[in-house]
Structure 1
């Protein structure tokens, strides 16, 4: 590589890092604006919180849909991180299927409950951000996905993660793994629908706590999934959730 090409390449890398850092800062500012002004926050308020202009946002995200996608990706990563922390240790699933003398710390039901809890925590702890992701008031209808569901990407990602858990359990117990992916998305769809209604009614102030809603959903979902693991009641459950 010629010396001048090396210089240009180095400048390009520094510019890309600068753009990535700036995008991160603008997403951070957007989240602060959502929490301060609510899910229906407009671009003027977002720019004011960021201490810059709307032009700068459009330069980095092209349009409002691009900014929404960046915020959704951040929230998606946070949820996936929490869900992955709950269900990502597939060794626990395999160990539980191997017999009562294994050292699996979490029962399958507890893994399911923890995954549900990870989703509900976002609704409870960051309701305006959740409303922003689900309702996407910033994005014109003409710029949304074909289904009109702006939050479908987040739900699909979480559904895939839960599907991995279920598929692993089916495989560990010698069962047909074909339904795993479908069941993963079905579980997330159920949790999301219940979470949306819970938030509409006021979340914790509705009289139903997150813990209660988690248990209601776990009971309903587990009733269908318990056949995935044989003899799930063969030993006492270990309390791992707060």
Structure 2
């Protein structure tokens, strides 16, 4: 059986997707301008429309919040592409990951605050992106362990633990109004984990002639 697709339905769906993206982008601009506690009136004004239009596309403020979170997650993941594109030592991996994430916090602090201050009734905004990144870090660490001839079993625990640690550091960093420079924080993280990774590297055995 052949199922025909109404061209008007396809065009309408495409129009709705484009309009939703434009409304989310306007919401991001409003958050940057007015701060993370921005109201719907200011968001609608930034988009040059009314709250009714937002509610029609997103249902309520929670629906808009979830759309903003999805957009931010896509941006964070895109910024991490360079982290995965080449094999790195564990320290290099940790520092690149920390730097990429903290850079987002530094540049878009109000967006970060908006995302982490989730309204009631919405899913944890951090869980989805941290799980995805944790899986990737775990896979990278597993490759490193195999290259060293070591058991890759700890990689999953290490990978997700590292990601959770970096997220916790970011939360604390923003509470201190980014008092320490970002490069310092990245170095502190690298200094903490490097000895642990170094301890996993087999020590060459030397024989006496």
TM-score > 0.5, shorter chain as reference: yes
Aligned to 1:194: 169
What displacement does 1:68 show? 1.4
Match of 2:101 among 100, 109, 119: 119
What is the number of residues matched between the two proteins? 203
Aligned to 2:206: none
What displacement does 1:230 show? 5.4
Asked if 1:48 corresponds to 2:45, the answer is yes
Distance 1:131 1:230, change over 3 A: farther
What displacement does 1:29 show? 0.4
Aligned to 2:31: 34
Distance 1:226 1:79, change over 3 A: farther
* Aligned pairs (5 A) from 1:1-242: 9-86=6-83, 88-90=84-86, 92-93=87-88, 107-136=89-118, 139=119, 141=120, 143-145=121-123, 149-203=124-178, 206=179, 208-227=180-199
Q: Work out the CA distance in 2 between the residues paired with 1:176 and 1:58.
A: 52
Describe the superposition over 1:130-176 as per-residue Cα deviations: whole angstroms up to 9, x where unpaired. 1111112xx2x2x123xxx4332232232223222212222333332
3-state DSSP of counterpart to 2:37: coil
Q: Work out the CA distance in 1 between the residues paired with 2:63 and 2:78.
A: 22
Q: Work out the CA distance in 2 between the residues paired with 1:227 and 1:61.
A: 51
Q: Work out the CA distance in 2 between the residues paired with 1:43 and 1:10.
A: 34
Aligned to 1:103: none
Q: Work out the CA distance in 1 between the residues paired with 2:67 and 2:112.
A: 14
Q: Work out the CA distance in 1 between the residues paired with 2:202 and 2:110.
A: 41
Structure 1 ranges of 4+ moved more than 3 A: 226-231
Distance 1:225 1:11, change over 3 A: farther
CA RMSD across the alignment: 2.1
3-state DSSP of counterpart to 1:151: helix
TM-score by length of 2: 0.87
Q: Where do 5+ consecutive residues of structure 1 fail to align?
A: 94-106, 232-242
Task: Work out whether residues 113 and 218 of structure 1, in 8 Å CA contact, stay in contact via their aligned partners in 2.
Answer: yes
Q: Where do 5+ consecutive residues of structure 2 fail to align?
A: 204-209
What displacement does 1:228 show? 5.1
